[in-house]
Amino acid sequence: MNLLWCVTGAGHLLLESFALMQCTCSEHEVTVAFSGAGSEVARIYGLQEVIAREFKEVISEREQGYSSPLVGRLAKREYDLVIVTPCTANTVAKIVRGIADSLITNLVAQAVKSGVPVYIVPTDFEKIQETTMPMSLDQQTCRTCEVCPPLEQCPQNAIYRDDRVRIDGLRCTACKSCIELCTYDAISFGGTVRVHIRDLDIKNTRRLEKMEGITVFRSPDAIPV
């Protein structure tokens, strides 16, 4: 089976989605499509290079635009299934309103028009959710050392100092070298935070569940592939 796997710009459920992607590619042909924000977030979580290495074809919205040739492939039914996980509240809102102005929303719209099933895992289901964080620096633990080994040795120059030591999320690739370098264990990866989801986003998820051609799942591991 040929799968088109779409990744939008959410950290929530990203690691779980990647785990399923890895399991799936052993049995199916998988093409990965990133939204612009999806590429950024995958890099921050240390997954962008891994996905590029492990999957046969990876398409980036930034490289191929909003109406990539992928859309034409769907019209020709070259894919058996489109999976969107994680799917941000922004992408869900556009889909339920019929807006197709990005790579992922274009792909979903064309899939539905062409009769290709679409599976979506929205990030916003419950009022309160726990989400996994990328690299994080605990300001209460950090001693703002005069000589900061993580700052001095970060291969991406992603750690900098202004009034305190900080991590630049747009540079960080989650190589995790800084975790070992910090004497005071102020840097970590994979911590969780609680977030409050807007009622509007939850309502849009409920609307998405009623759309023709789309099946909504609460988590990646619920997807039957």
- Delineate the domains of the chain, giving CATH numbers in brackets: 2-125+198-222 (3.40.50.1950), 135-189 (3.30.70.20)
Q: What is the DSSP letter of 222?
A: G
How far apart are alpha carbons 46 and 94 in whole angstroms?
Answer: 28
Per-residue pLDDT of the chain (225 residues; tens, 9 = 90+): 999 999 999 999 999 999 999 999 889 999 999 999 999 999 999 999 999 999 989 999 988 888 778 889 999 999 999 999 999 999 999 999 999 999 999 999 999 999 999 999 999 999 998 999 999 999 999 999 999 999 999 999 999 999 899 999 989 999 999 999 999 999 999 999 999 999 999 999 999 999 999 999 999 999 998
Which has the closest alpha carbon to 98: 204, 201, 222? 204
Instruction: Give me the sheet containing 214-216, strands edge to edge.
Output: 57-60, 29-34, 2-7, 81-87, 118-122, 214-216
